[in-house]
Amino acid sequence: MAGVYLSFPFCAQKCTYCNFASGVFPSDLEERYLDALGNEIRAHQWRWTPETVYIGGGSPSRLEVEKLAGLLEMVPGRPWKEATIEAAPGEIDARKTAGWREAGISRVSLGVQSFVQNELSRTGRRHTAHTVAADVRMLREHAIENINLDLIAGLPHQNIASFAESLDWIERLDVPHVSVYMLEVDQDSRLGRELLDSGSKYGASSVPSEDEIVAMYQFAVERLAHLGIYRYEISNFARPGSESLHNLKYWRLDPYIGFGADAHSHDAGVRWRNAGTAAAYVARSERGRTVVADRTFAIPQEEKFFVGLRLAGGVHLEPAEWERFEAPIVRFLDQGLLEREGDMLRFTGQGILYSNEVLQEFIHA
């Protein structure tokens, strides 16, 4: 199953924890970006017909519905099996939702992160729990039932009790898909940099400890399972049948083409990535240069483990792979981080908590 990703990295604010190439940019850059994006899609030679579409990268819900429809008209394969748009809570209205449906959108992913006011306001998010509830109602009124809500475990001032409040809202809103991300600490977000520098800005000194974050994540796994929403990938939980078809292709190594700034693609054994910022992407496009910043050959065996192990079902172990990866596999089996059932290899509940470290071992092993 092949898919298409469109990146729209424009947002109303830059959230403190966000490590995407998104941000608040001048409106003229947005116009030029849309021209560049349209040119990139139009110039693409389609080798296959996409079955899924995902529009993300920032807050594409800000995009005027006519402009979004114009972009989607360039993508073959309508009606797609799934077409998702990422939305910032509070940026949804009846006209927009009706326009999305018309343009082929069938799934909406809301960047909620938390339902607790104290946590939201420290990150720069402008919505409240009631904004999210109104958005979900609006989507359902327009027959969009396939809704994902994103949560983060590890926000400043968060603890198990406040995280449980967010999960109470998940239960109340009764959505079929939830993503739970553990806070990422790196140089690409303001909060991450502050944490690495042991500073206190952006609430950094109130970020829960690693153990607390792990406890929140485990709590989410159990609570969501109780609601019939099961983990099918490290960060993704769904009612059976509501798994994201688009995201599954990343972990199953299906082909996908990404258009726009910082978009990644994988097709015919090659991976490539576009220029990382909106400004660099536009500049390359306006000078008539390729927008692709780098290209590498995929290494199927390594990638199969690196991405496939993220799935709850794990990966099917071929004899040659066992031979090649025997040392790390045996070590992780002994440590109780991986488990083997016949030819299937998967993470244990404990192993998921150390997934980054484990997955790294399969690269260049």
Q: Smaller CB distance to ligand SF4: residue 22 or 166?
A: 22
Residues 29-58 touching ligand SF4, rule: CB under 6 A, are 58
Asked if 280 and 260 count as a contact pair (C-beta separation under 8 A), the reply is no
Asked if 214 and 267 count as a contact pair (C-beta separation under 8 A), the reply is no
Residues 76-105 touching ligand SF4, rule: CB under 6 A, are 88
The reply on whether position 22 binds ligand SF4 by CB under 6 A is yes
The reply on whether position 111 binds ligand SF4 by CB under 6 A is yes
Nearest CA-CA partner of 171 in 215, 219, 226: 226
CB of 189 to ligand SF4, least distance (A): 9
Q: Smaller CB distance to ligand SF4: residue 127 or 304?
A: 127
Write out the two tokens for 277. 């910022």
CB of 154 to ligand SF4, least distance (A): 14
Helix (H) or strand (E) holding 257: strand 256-259
Q: Determine the Cα–Cα distance for residues 43 and 35; give it in Å rounded to an integer.
A: 12
Number of residues that bind ligand SF4 (CB under 6 A): 10
Q: Smaller CB distance to ligand SF4: residue 59 or 158?
A: 59
Q: Determine the Cα–Cα distance for residues 365 and 347; give it in Å rounded to an integer.
A: 18
Burial string for 141-154 (b: 16+ CB within 10 Å, else e) reads ebebebbbbbbbbb
Asked if 67 and 60 count as a contact pair (C-beta separation under 8 A), the reply is no
Residues 6+ apart with CB under 8 A from 114: 120, 123, 125, 151, 152, 155, 158, 162, 166
Query: Furthest-apart CA pair in the chain: how many Å?
Result: 57
DSSP-derived letter for residue 364 is T
CB of 286 to ligand SF4, least distance (A): 24
| Residues 37, 178, 242: CA angle, nearest 5 degrees | 85
Piece in contact with ligand SF4 (CB under 6 A), picked from 18-26, 96-104, 163-171, 224-232: 18-26
Task: List the one residue from 59, 97, 114, 146 that touches ligand SF4 (CB under 6 A).
Answer: 59
Handedness of CA 329, 332, 338, 342 (dihedral sign): positive
SS3 (DSSP) at 214: helix
Q: Smaller CB distance to ligand SF4: residue 20 or 219?
A: 20
CB of 124 to ligand SF4, least distance (A): 7
For residue 206, which phi and psi values (nearest 5 degrees)? -105, 15
Q: Smaller CB distance to ligand SF4: residue 257 or 261?
A: 261
Burial string for 100-137 (b: 16+ CB within 10 Å, else e) reads beebbbbbbbbbbbbbbeebbebbbbebbbebbeebbe
Asked if 62 and 88 count as a contact pair (C-beta separation under 8 A), the reply is yes
Piece in contact with ligand SF4 (CB under 6 A), picked from 17-25, 138-146, 265-273, 300-308: 17-25
Q: What's the chain's Rg over C-alpha atoms?
A: 20
CB of 153 to ligand SF4, least distance (A): 15
Piece in contact with ligand SF4 (CB under 6 A), picked from 16-24, 191-199, 305-313, 326-334: 16-24
The reply on whether position 154 binds ligand SF4 by CB under 6 A is no
Piece in contact with ligand SF4 (CB under 6 A), picked from 8-16, 31-39, 46-54, 196-204: 8-16
Task: List the one residue from 2, 4, 15, 183 that touches ligand SF4 (CB under 6 A).
Answer: 15
Piece in contact with ligand SF4 (CB under 6 A), picked from 10-18, 178-186, 232-240, 274-282: 10-18
Q: Smaller CB distance to ligand SF4: residue 112 or 345?
A: 112
Task: List the one residue from 2, 4, 6, 11 that touches ligand SF4 (CB under 6 A).
Answer: 11
Piece in contact with ligand SF4 (CB under 6 A), picked from 9-17, 101-109, 219-227, 320-328: 9-17
Residues that bind ligand SF4 (CB under 6 A): 11, 14-15, 18, 20, 22, 58-59, 88, 111
